A and B are shown apart, each in its own frame.
Chain A
Amino acid sequence: MSRTAVVVGSSVAGVRTAQALAAGGFDGRVLVIGAERTEPYDKPPLSKHFLTGVWDASRLALLNGGRADERVELRLGVAAEHLDVAGKQLRLADGTRVPYDVCVIATGASARPSPWAARDGIHVLRTVQDSAALRRDLLRGGEVVVVGGGFVGAEVAAAASGLGCPVTVVDPLVDPMARVLGPRVGPLLTGIHERHGVRTRFGTGVVAIEGTSGGLRVILDDGSVLAASTVVVGIGAVPNDGWLRSSGLDIADGVICDEYCRVQGTRDVFAAGDVARWPHPRHGEHVRGEHWTNAVEQAACVARNIVHQGDPVPYRPVEYVWSDQYDWKIQIAGSPALMSGHHVIGDLTGDRPRAAVAYTDTTGRLGAALTLNWPRALVACRRLLAAAAEFTQAITELDLLADARPTGRR
């Protein structure tokens, strides 16, 4: 009898898991259940090309009709409400019961809601509808205040500025990028906003937001007030794990998995993407990844471990994040915040620097890397990280790459 794999969540992790199952030898049905009505779409452009209007919605589709895609069944617009692990079935919001042989939890994450309320005009950014609504307000013009200086906040600031809006970014941390890049390298990137004409109020928290769309007032903890037509709150994401509360599974800011991404205490339930928390050997603890590449790589690992049940492989990725801000391409491999030392290759100053920062820890190996506008160096760093290269060897290779590259281009 044919088996059924049910993927809960039409996130990139969910869709990529389904595609990898269909392409990778899973011989039964592959069904994706999605709470959103919209055809599965990709999220990174929502703070970049889609928000600025360079791309339309057709560029966001995650399923493109390839050979594997034809085997993926979709059931959209209905959320899963309960997972019955012992009975191997799901209950959906419309009361339907869906039996499974293997289940993959890929319900993703939601934008952390704004703790400040105004009648309207405060945006968060997570869905395609969020992005379209924000774009409408940005096109209206006027001052924009972005609360949160992380990646999403920085990308929105860049996009809004590109659309001609005067922008101020507010964050309670003096140096928001230090969270990711460490205390010594963080400030180099934190300055990107001023370099592009966007004001920052870092080290300042928001107390309240008053007013209505087009006439908002953002009250800061130093007593000052910023007038804004539009406010965007980008203060992180929370995993969509609430629907699993009734399942008896171990939930702690994500669903707890083993090193193979199998949900702890189950045989036939896996998790992938923003909602999965698994023991990462490089971190020495359970972690949750909120990045696109993690979702895709974890999806591939889960699909592989489902198809090759008797021979599972542990999931131990080299993290990779990118961010496009203004005309800068920022790429990060590994976890710089965990590192203790670094070395700069190239020059980090200038309008559009091409440079890399190699990080190391006490092991003497390359542990993480940041590249600015230099994808080839990023490729080299990811390869060196995967090979656990010596730090000195990594620097030598990057120096050679810097010397080898043609001069006078861009």
Chain B
Amino acid sequence: MPILRADHGACQGYANCVAGASDVYDIDDDGVVVLLKERVPEEERQRVEEAARSCPVSALTVEGG
């Protein structure tokens, strides 16, 4: 199953990931990304990868599978 990773230090709170996949990504009160899931099923990969690619600082990756 694809594994989700986030670089919390790189995150700038731009929040495109939340607009792309709000069931997977959220933003906390300090504007830093929160992973709501650690893994997603393979059939979710494309949608979640698209949300990850929408991060302006490349803080998000989808690995493995």
Q: Measuring CB to CB, which residues of chain A are less than 8 angstroms from any residue of chain B?
A: 16, 19-20, 23-24, 42, 44-45, 59, 61, 64, 66, 68, 292-293, 296-297, 300, 320, 322, 324, 329, 331, 373-376, 378-379, 382-383, 386, 405-406, 409-410
Contact = CB atoms under 8 A, between A and B. Distances in A.
Q: Which 6 A-B pairs rank lowest in CB-CB distance, beginning with the nearest?
A: A375-B31, A375-B13, A379-B15, A379-B18, A375-B27, A296-B54
A376 B27 contact: yes
Interface residues of B, number: 24
Contacts of B39: none
Nearest to A406: B29
Interface string B25-50: 01111110000000000000010011
B50 A66 contact: no
Given A23-B46, A322-B14, A375-B13, A410 B30 contact: yes
B27 A42 contact: no
A405 B29 CA distance: 7
B19 interface: yes
A114 to B, nearest CB: 27
A380 to B, nearest CB: 10
Contacts of A297: 54
Contacts of B12: 324, 329
B43 to A, nearest CB: 13
A382 B15 CA distance: 10
Given A16-B53, A376-B31, 8 more contacts: A42-B56, A66-B62, A322-B14, A373-B31, A375-B31, A378-B15, A382-B15, A405-B29
Given A64-B58, A320-B19, A376 B50 contact: no
B30 A409 contact: yes
Nearest to A385: B19
Contacts of A374: 31
A376 B29 contact: yes
A300 B15 contact: no
B53 A19 contact: yes
Contacts of A45: 57
Nearest to B51: A300
Contacts of B28: 376
B7 to A, nearest CB: 11
A383 B49 CA distance: 20
B16 A320 contact: yes
Contacts of A293: 16, 54, 56
Contacts of B57: 45, 59
A19 B30 CA distance: 31
A296 B16 contact: yes
Contacts of A24: 46
Nearest to A60: B58
A318 B26 CA distance: 19
